[in-house]
Amino acid sequence: MVLGTEPAPVTRHEYLQLACAGGFPEVVQRPAGRARSRWFSDYLRTVTQRDVRELKRIEQTDRLPRFMRYLAAITAQELNVAEAARVIGVDAGTIRSDLALFETVYLVHRLPAWSRNLTAKIKKRSKIHVVDSGFAAWLRGQSADSLARPTAEGAGPIMETFVINELMKLRAATELEVDLYHFRDRDGREIDCILQTPDSRVVGVEVKASATVNVHDFRHLSFARDRLGDEFITGVLFYTGARALPFGDRLMALPINLLWNGQSVSSL
């Protein structure tokens, strides 16, 4: 991983504003509030009532907005198909079918589980990420101001989804040859994103909505580094602070806005 010059610092609240705006130009150009909310509402209705039906004949479409809100509620988490079926009130096959349709129309994407025999207790469910973090925040009824409150919950998943989506954009823009996964085992160790090269080397990525980090935040990246040896390129913790910080052998904390620096990831 090659780092370029650091861009101007961004505050935690500014990161939350960026994440809650998302990437739709029609939304970014509008002020936060009712104008954005109306656009997202129209978008949800158009995609679930028109676009999906153009792909597959669905008689009852009222469940689709509910399912989309459910997926937004679990963005950056693993999808339990049986639990989703219970909540939405359909069978597991319908959940799988609707999820595939949502992927086709670019509402969500799945981050598959990664396994390289780090442990025998690996969980194999995919993680769900809403393709646009602003859409996810709107579906969850969250805003930058609400997430910035000291007692607020939910900033973590929105920020993680925001960063994962930025990594996917970066991969497409740079033609970076990596596959994206997530890692989680039954002992509670998890890494938000694993970038794997064609020759099976990996970069581990964690995301924190906090503006401060400490060595404890690197425990799962350290575990992967120690197990993988030379196949572990580096472990990066993206956070909402302002400084790039080293945390030992091949581990570093980086401000999220380094992802927008044209040379932030030039080679693996």
Q: In this predicted model, what pLDDT tens digit does every residue of 194-213 receive, in sequence order?
A: 999 999 999 999 999 999 99
The residues of the chain scoring below 70 in pLDDT are: 1-7, 59-60, 117-122, 261-268
Q: Write down the domain spans for the chain.
A: 12-260
- Stated as kind and residue range, the H or E segment containing 26 is helix 25-28
Q: Which pair of tokens denotes residue 42?
A: 């129209």
Structural contact between residues 71 and 135, judged by C-beta atoms closer than 8 angstroms: no
Structural contact between residues 159 and 257, judged by C-beta atoms closer than 8 angstroms: no
What is the pTM assigned to this prediction?
0.91
Q: Which long-range contacts (CB under 8 A, 24 or more apart) does 88-96 make?
A: 88/63, 89/63, 90/63, 95/67
Three-class SS state of 21 = helix
Q: Which long-range contacts (CB under 8 A, 24 or more apart) does 227-232 make?
A: 227/118, 228/116, 228/118, 228/202, 231/200, 231/201, 231/202, 232/201, 232/202, 232/204
Report whether CATH 1.10.10.10 matches the domain 12-260. Answer: yes
pLDDT of residue 120: 56
pLDDT in tens, 179-198: 999 999 888 899 999 999 99
Nearest one of 214, 213, 217, 186 to 204, comparing CA atoms: 217
- Residue 46 to residue 245: CA distance in whole angstroms: 44
